[in-house]
Amino acid sequence: MNAVITAVGGYVPAAILDNKTICEKVETSELWIEKRTGIKERRIADENTATSDLASAAIENLFEHYDVDRNEIEALIIATATPDHILAPTASKVCEKNGLTNAFGLDINAACSGFLYALELASSMIESGRYEKIIVAGADKMSSIVDYENRDTCILFGDGAGAVLLEKTQSDYGIMKSILRTDGGGTSSLFVPAGGSKMPATMQSIVHRSHFIKQEGPYVFKKAVSSMSKVSKDVLIKNELDTEDIDWVIPHQANLRIIKTVSENLNIDINKVKVNIERYGNTTSATIPLCLWDFKDDFKKGQYLLITTFGAGFSWGALCLKWGTMRKKRHRSQVHQSRKLSYEAVLQQM
């Protein structure tokens, strides 16, 4: 029993924050940002949009374009580092917004590795034989925890969401073996100090801007390169694959220099590496599913994909999968009707 991806959805907000605009906020240059990160622009959600809205839109995009019965979805796993609330899972709101009345929902927070961890969990649930259809989504509103007065972090992050449908299959297509790692010793090098049980919100924490991301950039960069490179080599061995067998690499979109260095360390042609960081920036939990959504038409049945991530925690990992057959796409008339029904459902909630 394997778990295979059969449908993909994605969503990014319409508003664009480009490098020119950032240069008006902090002391830097467009050339410096692009050279250091590979990022040209990011999508930013408005103040009335929550992470649950981003995730819901990505899942609705999946339902609109593929022939999927939402009543058959048994579970929803949301990977996010920016939940709507500290208490009350974001997945609960997403289940409500997407009409997933027969599914249970839960959140996973493994920062930038969250979607990979969630994919491993969901595939294991399906391989157990107890579940047949699970939606896994990665969504983050990073603009809600970014300090736009801090040049080191405000240039990096954007908002977005992506989602995949996992289904059971008796074939050898789908999720293969993974390796996941955690090193809590790196927590203070990339984290948001305040807002949790260790440092609840106070007037002092607000004054000290402790509710925004803090990062030791150079250290995180080196750790990301070494960790992603090693775990990717190890997971290829675990799956009895060589680098020549890999058709596509889907890396976490944190920094273009990290992506290129990992590609070089693996001796994999950069043309096999999927990159969209120039348009979205680092969307944390959403980077992997957004890449799958952006480039889904490039993936052919039987091709091998290597996914690798690194994030706060420190959390990192790699996973191989064999691309299978996607679900039948809806006709345009069906997409139009689906959008109409989705719009009416939104109106009923208002």
**Among 95, 98, 112, 320, which one carries the catalytic annotation?**
112
**Among 252, 255, 291, 320, which one carries the catalytic annotation?**
252
Handedness of CA 38, 194, 121, 93 (dihedral sign): negative
**Among 19, 98, 239, 282, which one carries the catalytic annotation?**
282
Which stretches does DSSP call E strand in the chain?
A: 2-11, 16-18, 41-43, 75-79, 104-108, 133-141, 159-169, 174-182, 190-191, 214-215, 248-251, 304-311, 315-322
Active site residue 291: no
Q: What is the CB neighbour count within 10 angstroms for residue 35?
A: 11
- 323 in helix, strand or coil? coil
Give φ, ψ of 321 to 5 degrees.
-145, 150
Look-up of token digits 């508003």: 15
d(CA 50, CA 1): 36
Active site residue 112: yes
Q: Indicate the length of the chain as a whole number.
A: 350
Paired with 9 in beta bridges are: 163
The counts of H helices and E strands in the chain are: 12, 13
| Closest by CA position to 136, among listed 63, 94, 78, 204 | 78
Active site residue 61: no
Q: Which residues are catalytic?
A: 112, 252, 282
